[in-house]
Amino acid sequence: MKIDGTPYRSIWLADDGQTVHIIDQTKLPHIFEIADLKSALDAATAIRDMLVRGAPLIGATGAYGLALAMREDASDTNLDSASDALLQTRPTASNLAWALNNLKEVLIPLPESQREAAAYQRASEICEDDVATCRAIGEHGASIIEKLWISKGRPDRINILTHCNAGWLATVDWGTALSAIYGAHEKGVPVHVWADETRPRNQGASLTAWELGKHGVKHTVIVGNASGHLMQHGQVDMCIVGTDRTTAAGDVCNKVGTYLKALAAHDNDVPFYVALPHSTIDWSINDSIRDVPIEIRSPEEVTHVWGKDSEGEVASVQITPDDTAALNVAFDVTPARYVTGLITERGICEASVQGLLNLYPEQKT
Ligand code: MRU
């Protein structure tokens, strides 16, 4: 996608063919800065500290992290330890384990002398696959938005609520939920997005608003708590969110607060769609509430907020009384019964075992 007319991806290889460039998302929207990953440790730190975030981008960064590890030491021991270290950075998104396993399958049979080149090659293929996948998700999602707009008599604006950031910044390019919105915008559908701010880290207010603004898509930031009210007042035509892990039964784990949006959507007959690539599906989990690992992050993300002050300085301020306890649960699970449909690169399906197996028949056992 473009930033002020210049095309960017969220991760790319530098001209030296070794260093990995990323956009430091902790600085957005106020500062646009490119950071360099030169080691596996840099990649792990970037994922843990959320310089990169969003399930597909975490996977792509993990893949390049393993390539950087192979540059340092291509032994089996380092392959295992670097992969373990990367895997432990963030526990919820399936895409990280998917990408690391994918690379390991390629690397393990190879002699050490070939592993570095093969790892870079595979990491690059994972990125290209993500771009094509997200583009396809966008095409399928855009058709849902267009049909809804037509069915409502082509109003001047169609209001779509999204949560967190499931845009190009969360993937290698295009995004998942926002790819559908970009696709509809390209088709001339007058899309307006309610960007839910998404406390505590405010990915909606800082990243979704920034991306949509750079692409010229109309949007308004709301506090997460306003979404139910907007739905009750007919101001939300549909919701589209991303996901970090979707189970074989179609339960959806995504940024905390997604579940409450889905409940409000259900109560108000607002369609609630979830957009996802194949790499986000965890075919092994049966009990989503018990078995999906939910990341608990630092309480400081709850007690403090980052922002730009009136002097233009970016700073963190404390919003709770000194020494207040805070709990930072980063994700929640929305049961499949509240999901209108899953939008994948292969098309749209019901959020159910059968729905997913119809699209991914190779997973039938
Ligand atoms: O904690 P984050 O910012 O990594 O959470 C991101 C999300 O919850 C996204 O909705 C999800 O990864 C889907 S991204 C296409």
Q: Tell me the one-letter amino acid at 292.
A: V
Same domain, 86 and 181: no
* Ligand 1 pocket residue status of 176, Cβ below 6 Å: yes
Same domain, 110 and 240: no
Same domain, 39 and 155: no
What is the average pLDDT score of the chain? 97
Q: Which of 75, 105, 129 is the last residue of a domain?
A: 129
Closest ligand 1 atom to residue 175 Cα is 15
Going from the Cα of 61 to the center of ligand 1, the distance in angstroms, rounded, reads: 14
Closest ligand 1 atom to residue 254 Cα is 8
Going from the Cα of 179 to the center of ligand 1, the distance in angstroms, rounded, reads: 14
**Quick one: average pLDDT of 200-220?**
97
Domain range enclosing 171: 137-363
pLDDT tens column, 178-207 = 999 999 999 999 999 999 999 999 999 999
Same domain, 72 and 198: no
Specify the CATH number for the domain of residue 113: 1.20.120.420
Query: Which pLDDT value is given to residue 5?
Result: 86
Percent above pLDDT 70 for the chain: 100
Looking at the chain, how many residues does it have? 365
Same domain, 202 and 78: no
Select which of 130, 244, 251, 282 is catalytic: 244
Judged against a pLDDT cut of 90, whether residue 66 lies above it is answered with yes
Going from the Cα of 234 to the center of ligand 1, the distance in angstroms, rounded, reads: 27
What order of strands is seen across the sheet that includes strand 272-275?
218-222, 191-196, 158-163, 238-241, 272-275, 341-344, 347-349
* Ligand 1 pocket residue status of 170, Cβ below 6 Å: yes
Same domain, 75 and 180: no
User: Which residues have C-beta within 8 Å of that of residue 224, sequence separation ≥ 6?
Assistant: 163, 196, 197, 198, 199, 204, 257, 260, 261
pLDDT category at 230 given cuts 50, 70, 90 is: very high
Same domain, 24 and 79: yes
pLDDT category at 98 given cuts 50, 70, 90 is: very high
Going from the C-alpha of 90 to that of each of 55, 210, 268, 285, 335, the distances in angstroms are 10, 24, 34, 18, 22
Residues 342/348, Cβ–Cβ less than 8 Å: yes
Same domain, 234 and 354: yes
Judged against a pLDDT cut of 90, whether residue 4 lies above it is answered with no
* Ligand 1 pocket residue status of 171, Cβ below 6 Å: yes
Query: Which pLDDT value is given to residue 286?
Result: 84
User: Which residues have C-beta within 8 Å of that of residue 66, sequence separation ≥ 6?
Assistant: 40, 79, 82, 83, 86, 100, 103, 104, 107, 119, 123
* Ligand 1 pocket residue status of 243, Cβ below 6 Å: yes
Same domain, 116 and 143: no
**Quick one: average pLDDT of 41-62?**
98
Closest ligand 1 atom to residue 55 Cα is 12
Q: Which of 129, 153, 179 is the last residue of a domain?
A: 129
Specify the CATH number for the domain of residue 288: 3.40.50.10470
Judged against a pLDDT cut of 90, whether residue 334 lies above it is answered with yes
Going from the Cα of 57 to the center of ligand 1, the distance in angstroms, rounded, reads: 9
* Ligand 1 pocket residue status of 244, Cβ below 6 Å: yes
Count how many domains the chain has: 2
Same domain, 60 and 165: no
Q: Which of 129, 158, 182 is the last residue of a domain?
A: 129
Residues 23/7, Cβ–Cβ less than 8 Å: no
Decide if 269 is catalytic: no
Residue 216 CB-density burial (10 A; 0-12 exposed, 13-18 middle, 19+ buried): exposed
Same domain, 103 and 149: no
Same domain, 187 and 218: yes
* Ligand 1 pocket residue status of 107, Cβ below 6 Å: no
